[in-house]
Amino acid sequence: MTFIILMKFTDQGIRNVKETVERAKSFVEAAESKFGAKTKELYWTLGEYDLVGISDVPDEETATALALSLGALGNVRTLSMRAFNAEEMSGVLAKIP
């Protein structure tokens, strides 16, 4: 399952912004080893959100646990969205009577 994760720095995260790349690297490694989540892309962005991540996660429960564990570190707040590729969307559409 693919999830897009939008992130905003917290006060703590922005105070320690110079460590953001190393924090992200550590989290990506932990997400894979502890949750089986593969980070496909991670971008630092301008605008409403400070970071955007795209991850493949085994299931929704794991995605939720991953987002909660990231938030618990105190550096970012997250907004997660389930993303469907064309094949998955075709399957969804096939269920519409």
Confidence of residue 81 (pLDDT cuts 50, 70, 90): very high
pTM here? 0.90
A 10 A CB-CB count for 65 gives 15
| Domain count of the fold of the chain | 1
CATH of the domain at 82: 3.30.70.920
How much is the pLDDT for 64?
A: 95
Confidence of residue 19 (pLDDT cuts 50, 70, 90): very high
Residue 11's H or E segment, with its range, is: helix 11-15
70 vs 63, 64, 84, 86, 92, CA distance in Å? 11, 10, 23, 29, 30
Tell me which residue range forms the domain holding 31: 2-94
